Amino acid sequence: MRNTSLLPKRALTGLAVAAMAMAGAAAPAAGAAGTPGAACNGYVGLTFDDGPSNNTPALLSALQQNGLRATMFNQGQYAASYPQHVRAQVSAGMWVANHSYTHPHLTQQSPAQIESEITRTQQAIANAGGGTPRLFRPPYGETNSTVQSIAARHGLTQIIWDVDSQDWNNASVDAIVAANARLTNGQVILMHEWPANTRAAIPRIAQVLASRNLCAGMISPQTGRAVAPS
């Protein structure tokens, strides 16, 4: 969702994101959570919805400065409008995923409309240099068997979330950090590109994860859980 007037997101099951890290991706800061080779007792999936946008550069900078990698669930319409930010996500070592083209309530759409939302986003992300996504997150976390089967036909694993940061609902920095502190091995958290409080929380999120020897990992298309980056 892009603004706080939208309906709350609901956790259901599953998800979809492109797990591709470019060879030239910037390396995370040494010793930070998510750093390859760091002592990790487990991995968690940091996810950010609704990009790319003019907020993308600041978000990527904060993540890189704190040694964190994340899955970016991009809307196709914004990938088409901001292809340079999709390329920046990949160059920063993030994974790029499908979050529909226009962020509709897919369970209220016809199969043809769902197909269009998914396929246009796949194409827009690929055209922008983000590769072919393998992960998909339905807007608002709303899904059904039709949505899931269409996504699966395109090789997409549906990903929802285990913890909702509530950043879309004006959660404070403290609340967003506390939500990340509830993550356990393999779990996925929902965050968004646009809230200023989310970007401000990133240094503390990195500290919380490091204090628990948890690292920011990729989301496996096979299991839908956070795992060590490949």
Catalytic-role residue among 85, 99, 103, 192: 192
Helices and strands (H, E) in the chain, number of each type: 7, 10
Q: What is the β-pairing status of strands 42-51 and 71-74?
A: parallel
Rounded-to-integer distance, Cα 154 and Cα 136, Å: 10
Side-chain half-sphere of 85: how many Cα atoms within 13 Å? 24
Rounded-to-integer distance, Cα 179 and Cα 67, Å: 19
Rounded-to-integer distance, Cα 163 and Cα 9, Å: 11
Catalytic-role residue among 49, 50, 164, 167: 49
| Residue 27 burial (C-beta neighbours within 10 Å; 0-12, 13-18, 19+) | exposed
Query: Does the active-site annotation cover 50?
Result: no
Query: Does the active-site annotation cover 49?
Result: yes
Q: What is the β-pairing status of strands 218-219 and 214-216?
A: unpaired
Active site residues: 49, 192
